[in-house]
Amino acid sequence: MLATFALAPFNHLLRSESWASKRLRPYAGKTVRFYILPFLDINLTVHASGELLAAMSCATIDTTITLDLGLLPCLLAHDEEAYRKISISGDSAFAEELLRISKNLHWDMEQDLSGIIGDILAHRVVKASEDLKQWHNKTIRNLSETLVEYWMEEQPLLAKSIHVHEFISEVGALRRDVEQLEKRIEKIIR
Protein backbone atom coordinates (compact mmCIF):
# COMPACT_ATOMS: atom_id res chain seq x y z
CA MET A 1 0.00 0.00 0.00
CA LEU A 2 2.83 2.40 0.89
CA ALA A 3 4.56 1.61 -2.41
CA THR A 4 1.38 2.42 -4.35
CA PHE A 5 1.01 5.70 -2.46
CA ALA A 6 4.64 6.64 -3.18
CA LEU A 7 4.40 5.58 -6.82
CA ALA A 8 1.50 7.77 -7.89
CA PRO A 9 3.42 11.09 -7.86
CA PHE A 10 6.59 9.49 -9.22
CA ASN A 11 4.74 7.87 -12.13
CA HIS A 12 2.96 11.19 -12.74
CA LEU A 13 6.38 12.79 -13.18
CA LEU A 14 7.52 9.96 -15.45
CA ARG A 15 4.41 10.43 -17.63
CA SER A 16 4.97 14.19 -17.84
CA GLU A 17 8.67 13.73 -18.70
CA SER A 18 8.56 11.25 -21.60
CA TRP A 19 12.36 11.10 -21.85
CA ALA A 20 12.51 9.53 -18.38
CA SER A 21 10.11 6.69 -19.13
CA LYS A 22 11.96 6.03 -22.41
CA ARG A 23 15.20 5.63 -20.46
CA LEU A 24 13.55 3.16 -18.09
CA ARG A 25 11.97 0.96 -20.81
CA PRO A 26 15.17 -1.06 -21.47
CA TYR A 27 15.05 -2.13 -17.80
CA ALA A 28 11.48 -3.49 -18.05
CA GLY A 29 10.99 -6.40 -15.67
CA LYS A 30 13.89 -5.42 -13.41
CA THR A 31 13.19 -4.87 -9.73
CA VAL A 32 14.77 -2.33 -7.43
CA ARG A 33 14.66 -2.37 -3.65
CA PHE A 34 14.61 1.08 -2.05
CA TYR A 35 15.70 0.67 1.54
CA ILE A 36 15.26 3.96 3.35
CA LEU A 37 16.78 3.57 6.80
CA PRO A 38 15.55 2.93 9.42
CA PHE A 39 12.13 1.59 8.50
CA LEU A 40 11.02 2.01 4.88
CA ASP A 41 11.58 -0.90 2.49
CA ILE A 42 9.92 -0.72 -0.96
CA ASN A 43 10.38 -3.06 -3.91
CA LEU A 44 9.50 -1.65 -7.34
CA THR A 45 9.49 -3.21 -10.81
CA VAL A 46 9.91 -1.33 -14.08
CA HIS A 47 6.89 -1.84 -16.35
CA ALA A 48 7.23 -2.07 -20.15
CA SER A 49 5.74 1.45 -20.38
CA GLY A 50 8.66 2.84 -18.39
CA GLU A 51 6.63 3.41 -15.23
CA LEU A 52 7.24 1.81 -11.85
CA LEU A 53 4.91 -0.71 -10.22
CA ALA A 54 4.87 -2.32 -6.80
CA ALA A 55 6.92 -5.52 -7.14
CA MET A 56 5.40 -8.95 -6.67
CA SER A 57 6.47 -10.62 -3.43
CA CYS A 58 8.30 -13.35 -5.41
CA ALA A 59 10.23 -10.86 -7.61
CA THR A 60 14.00 -11.18 -7.73
CA ILE A 61 15.74 -8.00 -6.57
CA ASP A 62 18.17 -6.80 -9.26
CA THR A 63 19.56 -3.84 -7.36
CA THR A 64 19.26 -2.30 -3.91
CA ILE A 65 19.47 1.42 -3.22
CA THR A 66 20.00 2.24 0.45
CA LEU A 67 19.83 5.71 1.98
CA ASP A 68 19.07 7.45 5.26
CA LEU A 69 15.65 9.02 5.77
CA GLY A 70 17.35 12.36 6.48
CA LEU A 71 18.69 12.48 2.90
CA LEU A 72 15.21 12.65 1.33
CA PRO A 73 14.79 16.44 1.62
CA CYS A 74 18.27 16.95 0.16
CA LEU A 75 17.51 14.56 -2.69
CA LEU A 76 14.27 16.39 -3.43
CA ALA A 77 16.31 19.59 -3.61
CA HIS A 78 18.71 17.82 -6.03
CA ASP A 79 21.71 18.21 -3.71
CA GLU A 80 24.67 16.48 -5.41
CA GLU A 81 26.35 15.74 -2.07
CA ALA A 82 23.28 13.77 -0.94
CA TYR A 83 23.45 11.56 -4.05
CA ARG A 84 27.01 10.59 -3.11
CA LYS A 85 25.79 9.24 0.23
CA ILE A 86 23.50 6.66 -1.39
CA SER A 87 24.64 3.05 -1.21
CA ILE A 88 24.10 0.79 -4.24
CA SER A 89 24.39 -2.98 -4.49
CA GLY A 90 23.51 -5.33 -7.33
CA ASP A 91 23.03 -4.11 -10.92
CA SER A 92 24.87 -0.81 -10.71
CA ALA A 93 23.96 0.28 -14.28
CA PHE A 94 20.26 -0.03 -13.44
CA ALA A 95 20.68 1.82 -10.13
CA GLU A 96 22.77 4.57 -11.73
CA GLU A 97 20.10 5.06 -14.40
CA LEU A 98 17.41 5.36 -11.72
CA LEU A 99 19.49 7.93 -9.83
CA ARG A 100 20.31 9.84 -13.03
CA ILE A 101 16.61 10.04 -13.86
CA SER A 102 15.72 11.16 -10.33
CA LYS A 103 18.37 13.90 -10.50
CA ASN A 104 16.86 15.31 -13.68
CA LEU A 105 13.13 14.92 -12.97
CA HIS A 106 11.53 18.24 -12.15
CA TRP A 107 7.93 18.78 -11.20
CA ASP A 108 6.17 21.54 -13.12
CA MET A 109 3.85 22.48 -10.27
CA GLU A 110 2.33 25.39 -12.20
CA GLN A 111 1.31 23.09 -15.06
CA ASP A 112 -0.40 20.63 -12.69
CA LEU A 113 -2.10 23.34 -10.64
CA SER A 114 -3.40 25.11 -13.74
CA GLY A 115 -5.59 22.12 -14.55
CA ILE A 116 -7.19 22.37 -11.10
CA ILE A 117 -7.37 26.07 -10.27
CA GLY A 118 -6.68 27.81 -13.58
CA ASP A 119 -3.62 29.34 -15.20
CA ILE A 120 -3.57 32.73 -13.49
CA LEU A 121 -4.12 31.45 -9.97
CA ALA A 122 -1.62 28.62 -10.50
CA HIS A 123 0.99 31.14 -11.65
CA ARG A 124 0.36 33.31 -8.59
CA VAL A 125 0.53 30.35 -6.19
CA VAL A 126 3.85 29.19 -7.65
CA LYS A 127 5.22 32.75 -7.59
CA ALA A 128 4.12 33.18 -3.97
CA SER A 129 5.78 29.89 -2.98
CA GLU A 130 9.03 30.97 -4.69
CA ASP A 131 8.87 34.35 -2.94
CA LEU A 132 8.25 32.61 0.39
CA LYS A 133 11.25 30.33 -0.19
CA GLN A 134 13.48 33.31 -1.02
CA TRP A 135 12.21 35.19 2.03
CA HIS A 136 12.89 32.13 4.18
CA ASN A 137 16.46 31.77 2.85
CA LYS A 138 17.14 35.49 3.26
CA THR A 139 15.79 35.45 6.83
CA ILE A 140 17.98 32.49 7.79
CA ARG A 141 21.03 34.11 6.20
CA ASN A 142 20.35 37.43 8.02
CA LEU A 143 19.79 35.64 11.34
CA SER A 144 23.01 33.67 11.02
CA GLU A 145 24.97 36.81 10.10
CA THR A 146 23.45 38.63 13.08
CA LEU A 147 24.35 35.80 15.45
CA VAL A 148 27.90 35.64 14.13
CA GLU A 149 28.29 39.39 14.57
CA TYR A 150 26.83 39.22 18.08
CA TRP A 151 29.18 36.38 19.07
CA MET A 152 32.17 38.21 17.62
CA GLU A 153 31.46 41.74 18.84
CA GLU A 154 29.01 41.78 21.78
CA GLN A 155 29.65 38.41 23.44
CA PRO A 156 33.05 37.30 22.14
CA LEU A 157 32.49 33.61 21.65
CA LEU A 158 33.89 33.41 18.11
CA ALA A 159 37.26 34.70 16.96
CA LYS A 160 37.62 37.12 14.09
CA SER A 161 39.51 35.73 11.11
CA ILE A 162 42.21 38.41 11.53
CA HIS A 163 42.85 37.27 15.10
CA VAL A 164 42.95 33.62 14.03
CA HIS A 165 45.55 34.39 11.34
CA GLU A 166 47.61 36.42 13.84
CA PHE A 167 47.46 33.52 16.30
CA ILE A 168 48.57 31.04 13.63
CA SER A 169 51.53 33.23 12.63
CA GLU A 170 52.50 33.71 16.29
CA VAL A 171 52.39 29.94 16.86
CA GLY A 172 54.59 29.48 13.77
CA ALA A 173 57.07 32.05 15.08
CA LEU A 174 57.07 30.39 18.51
CA ARG A 175 57.70 26.98 16.89
CA ARG A 176 60.67 28.38 14.97
CA ASP A 177 62.05 30.02 18.14
CA VAL A 178 61.72 26.73 20.06
CA GLU A 179 63.55 24.85 17.30
CA GLN A 180 66.38 27.42 17.41
CA LEU A 181 66.52 27.17 21.22
CA GLU A 182 66.73 23.36 21.01
CA LYS A 183 69.63 23.65 18.57
CA ARG A 184 71.45 26.07 20.92
CA ILE A 185 70.90 23.78 23.91
CA GLU A 186 72.28 20.83 21.92
CA LYS A 187 75.38 22.87 21.03
CA ILE A 188 75.90 23.83 24.69
CA ILE A 189 75.53 20.22 25.82
CA ARG A 190 78.15 19.07 23.29
How confident is the model at residue 184, as a pLDDT? 93
pLDDT value of residue 182: 94
Residue 171 predicted with pLDDT over 90 = yes
- Please indicate whether residue 173 or residue 123 has the higher confidence score (pLDDT): 173
> How many percent of the chain have pLDDT more than 70?
97
CA 29/CA 27 separation, integer angstroms: 6
Which of 45, 70, 104 terminates a domain? The answer is: 104
Specify the 3-state DSSP secondary structure of 18. Answer: helix
State whether 81 and 137 are in the same domain: no
Confidence class for position 114, pLDDT limits 50, 70, 90: confident
The β-bridge partners of 43 are 33
In this prediction, residue 175 carries a pLDDT of 94
Residue 173, phi then psi, degrees to nearest 5: -65, -40
- Which of 104, 125, 154 is a domain's end point? 104
Sign of the torsion formed by the C-alpha atoms of 132, 136, 141 and 146: positive
Question: Quick one: 129 and 92 in the same domain?
Answer: no
Q: Based on the fold, state whether residues 83 and 7 are members of the same structural domain.
A: yes
Shared domain for 59 and 125, answered yes or no, is no
Q: Which of 104, 129, 144 represents a domain boundary (last residue)?
A: 104
Residue 20 burial by CB count (10 A; 0-12/13-18/19+): exposed, middle or buried? buried
Report pLDDT digits (tens) over 38-92. 778 888 888 888 888 888 888 888 999 888 888 887 887 778 888 888 888 888 8
Distances (CA, A) of 137 to 123, 133, 134: 21, 6, 5
Half-sphere exposure of 32 (CA within 13 A, CB side): 24
Claim to verify: residue 144 and residue 60 sit in the same structural domain: no
Whether 34 and 117 share a structural domain:
no
- Residue 24 pLDDT > 80: yes
Q: Which of 11-15, 52-56, 61-65, 168-172 has the lowest mean pLDDT?
A: 11-15
Buried b (16+ CB within 10 A) or exposed e, 77-100: eeeeebbeeeebebbeebbebbee
What mean pLDDT, rounded, does the chain reach? 84
Q: Which domain holds residue 31?
A: 2-104
- Determine if the pTM surpasses 0.85: no
Domain count, the chain: 2
What separation in angstroms does the CA of 120 have from each of 55, 113, 116, 123, 129? Answer: 40, 10, 11, 5, 14
